[in-house]
C-alpha cells in the first residue's frame, strides 16, 4: 500500500484503494485495515450504506473460511 502526503498548496493525502478480497482468511485483517483507512480519508461525507456497498464491491470472490 502506498500513502503519499503532499504539503504544497494545502494538505492532501493520496492512498491506494484496497486490493480485491479473494477469500483468504490470512488477508482479512489487512483488507479491513486498508478499507477502513481509505474510507476515513477519502469517503468521509457519504452515508454508511454507501460505504458498505463500496467495501462489498471489493469482496467479489469466495467467502473467507477458517
Mean pLDDT of the chain: 80
Q: Is residue 10 part of a domain?
A: no
Domain span including residue 33 = 18-66
Q: Is residue 41 part of a domain?
A: yes
Looking at per-residue pLDDT, the higher value among 23 and 6 belongs to 23
Cell numbers 477519502: residue = 42
Asked whether the beta carbons of 43 and 55 are under 8 A apart, the reply is: no
Please state the domain count of the chain: 1
The pTM assigned to this predicted structure is: 0.71
Q: Is residue 34 part of a domain?
A: yes
- CA distances 56 to 10, 22, 26, 37, Å, are 32, 12, 18, 15
Q: Is residue 12 part of a domain?
A: no
Helix residue ranges per DSSP H, 1-66: 28-42, 48-56
pLDDT tens digits, 32-51: 999 999 998 888 889 999 99
Looking at per-residue pLDDT, the higher value among 8 and 38 belongs to 38
Q: Is residue 30 part of a domain?
A: yes
Amino acid at each position: 500500500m502506498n500513502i503519499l502526503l503532499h504539503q504544497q498548496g494545502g494538505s492532501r493525502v493520496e492512498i491506494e484503494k484496497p486490493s480485491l478480497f479473494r477469500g483468504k482468511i490470512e488477508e482479512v485483517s489487512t483488507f479491513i485495515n486498508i478499507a477502513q483507512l481509505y474510507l476515513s480519508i477519502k469517503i468521509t461525507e457519504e452515508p454508511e450504506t454507501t460505504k458498505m456497498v463500496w467495501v462489498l464491491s471489493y469482496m467479489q470472490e469466495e467467502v473467507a473460511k477458517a
